[in-house]
């Protein structure tokens, strides 16, 4: 058996491959010297360390969906009942940082005599960025009692 030089073997293999036709070229008008390397895939993101705490953000809105300035947003630890508060600015936005993954929380807002529904944040939700929209609309307990007294006539015996 004779030894064939590697170069001759490579030339023989590449010459046997079918030539690329012009019909399959996606851009036949392109200059043959230019090279198009974009494959429209997102860049590979390197996964870093997992987050050790989460951020809770959102907006407080009224019944019409308009932002409410000056609403008090309360984040309550359901186990210890510790509370953190944030007063919304003109855009109705609030933000709580360094919120633990291992604790359940309740989130609610109030403005004057209006309240939002309480929203729960579970320790089983592993999202590092939580967004909640709080809509004001329900009357506070004091507000509903006052309203009930005004609309319900007293029964005299």
Give me the pLDDT at residue 68, please. 95
Instruction: Supply the pTM of this predicted model.
Output: 0.58
In this predicted structure, the answer to whether residue 48 has a pLDDT above a threshold of 90 is no
Work out the mean pLDDT of the chain and round it to a whole number: 77
Q: What length does the chain have?
A: 157
Q: What is the mean pLDDT of residues 116-134?
A: 92
Per-residue pLDDT band for 51 (boundaries 50, 70, 90) equals confident
Q: Which CATH architecture has domain 54-145?
A: Sandwich (2.60)
Give me the pLDDT at residue 50, please. 74
Could you give the percent of the chain with pLDDT greater than 90? 49
Q: What are the boundaries of each domain within the chain?
A: 54-145
Is 112 within 8 Å of 136 (Cβ atoms)?
no
In this predicted structure, the answer to whether residue 137 has a pLDDT above a threshold of 50 is yes
Q: What is the mean pLDDT of residues 132-149?
A: 63
Is 77 within 8 Å of 151 (Cβ atoms)?
no
Is 104 within 8 Å of 79 (Cβ atoms)?
yes
DSSP state, residue 81:
-
Q: What is the mean pLDDT of residues 24-53?
A: 62
Higher pLDDT pick, 123 / 48? 123
Kindly report the backbone phi and psi dihedral angles of residue 93, in degrees, each rounded to the nearest multiple of 5, phi listed first: -85, 150
Q: What are the structure tokens assigned to 35, written together? A: 């090279």
């Amino acid at each position: 058996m004779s030894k064939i030089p590697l170069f001759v073997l490579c030339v023989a293999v590449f010459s046997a491959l079918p030539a690329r036709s012009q019909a399959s070229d996606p851009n036949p008008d392109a200059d043959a010297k230019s090279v198009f390397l974009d494959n429209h895939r997102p860049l590979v993101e390197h996964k870093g360390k997992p987050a050790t705490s989460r951020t809770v953000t959102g907006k407080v809105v009224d019944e019409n969906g308009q932002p409410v300035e000056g609403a008090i947003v309360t984040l309550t630890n359901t186990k210890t009942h510790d509370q953190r508060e944030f007063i919304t600015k003109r855009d109705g936005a609030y933000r709580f940082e360094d919120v633990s993954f291992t604790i359940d929380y309740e989130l609610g807002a109030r403005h004057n005599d209006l309240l939002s529904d309480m929203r729960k944040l579970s320790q089983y939700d592993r999202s590092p960025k939580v967004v909640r929209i709080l809509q004001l609309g329900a009357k506070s307990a004091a507000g509903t009692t006052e309203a009930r007294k005004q609309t319900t006539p007293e029964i005299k015996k």
